[in-house]
Amino acid sequence: MSDALLQLRNAVIDGRVKELEALTSAALSAGLTPKEILDNGLVQGMQVVGSEFKEGKKFVPEVLFSARAMQVSLNILKPLLAQTGTKMVGKVVIGTVKGDLHDIGKNLVGMMMEGAGFEVVDLGRDVAPEKFVEVVRRENADILALSALLTTTMRAMDQTIKMLKEANVRDAVKVMVGGAPVTADFALKIGADSYGSTAADAAEIAKKLIHAS
């Protein structure tokens, strides 16, 4: 790994937000392609962060700093990636379901997804099933990630999947569900494709769903 990529990787791991703009510019000036910077710098850094978060070595505030650092670099790279026709791993539409205003877990999942090389469309909180269907269709999404933190809002996940079927787009998108009250059994019961128990798990599952499709 080149020194420029190693510096980027370590800056993401350490959450050094203020350094990422200069490090990204330096890497580009050194002749590295946007794709190399993304795959071998940013993504590798977030993989380490995800592993350490899963093992309890990093905590939510540290993950947020790492994700913000990565985002600084991504803001520079995205237009360049588009110019070169470079494709991301896949496109994820994510949101907290209707009636639920919790978003910390959803935000972490979105950040981990971006760290794994996905393009993420975040619809925020309290998202109606109709909105999910509309955006999945418009964005031609590969994955729909639904989050709920309340047992009373979990049924909105089921409603969203049913509406995807009614709109004839269910077969075109993989559906992931997660959140504190959500279980693998519930995911199976409502016809979701997968269940993620942690933000780090969700990113890995998303990659497997993409490769399986």
Of 83, 111, 141, the one marking the end of a domain is 83
The answer to whether residues 93 and 106 touch, using CB atoms and an 8 Å cutoff, is no
pLDDT tens digits, 22-40: 999 999 999 999 989 998 9
> Within this chain, do residues 95 and 169 fall inside the same structural domain, yes or no?
yes
Of residues 72 and 115, which shows the higher confidence score?
Answer: 72
Q: Are residues 116 and 74 in the same domain?
A: no
Same domain for 53 and 108, yes or no, is no
Question: Assign residue 135 a region: left if phi > 0, alpha if psi is -120 to 50, beta otherwise?
Answer: alpha
The pLDDT confidence band at residue 213, using thresholds 50, 70 and 90, is low
pLDDT band, very low/low/confident/very high, at 115 (cuts 50, 70, 90): confident
| 58 residue type, one letter | K
In sequence order, the β-bridge partners of residue 9 are none
* Domain C-terminal end among 25, 56, 83: 83
Looking up residue 29, the CATH number of its domain turns out to be: 1.10.1240.10
Q: What is the pLDDT of residues 79-90, one digit of tens each?
A: 998 888 777 889
Q: According to the model, what pLDDT value does residue 98 have?
A: 97
Mean pLDDT of 166-182: 95
Distance, CA of 103 to CA of 120 (rounded, Å): 15
Is the same domain home to 72 and 105?
no
Residue 190 in this model has a pLDDT that exceeds 80: yes
- Higher confidence at residue 177 or residue 1? 177
Residues 117 and 207 in one domain: yes
Give me the pLDDT at residue 200, please: 77
Give the pairing type, strands 194-196 and 143-147: unpaired
Q: What is the mean pLDDT of residues 175-189?
A: 95
| Mean pLDDT in residue range 62-67 | 90
- Counted domains in the chain: 2
Q: Are residues 184 and 99 in the same domain?
A: yes
Q: How far is CA 60 from the centre of its chain?
A: 15
205 and 127 together in one domain: yes
Same domain, 41 and 129: no
CA neighbours within 13 Å on the CB side: how many for 92? 31
Indicate whether 57 and 126 sit together in one domain. no
pLDDT mean over 162-175? 97
Q: Does 49 share its domain with 124?
A: no
Beta bridge partners of 97: 127
How is residue 80 written in tokens?
Answer: 């360049």
Helix boundaries (H) for the chain: 3-14, 20-29, 34-37, 43-54, 60-83, 104-115, 129-139, 155-166, 184-190, 199-212
For 148-154, what is the mean pLDDT?
A: 94
The pLDDT-based confidence of 191 (bands split at 50, 70, 90) is very high
Q: What is the pTM of this model?
A: 0.83
Q: Are 66 and 116 in contact (CB under 8 A)?
A: no
Instruction: Print the domain residue range for 150.
Output: 91-212
Pair of tokens at residue 172: 């075109």
Q: Are 157 and 97 in contact (CB under 8 A)?
A: yes
Among 48, 83, 118, identify where a domain stops: 83
Rounded to an integer, the average pLDDT of 189-202 is 90
CB atoms within 10 A of CB 50: 25
Q: How far is CA 46 from the centre of its chain?
A: 11
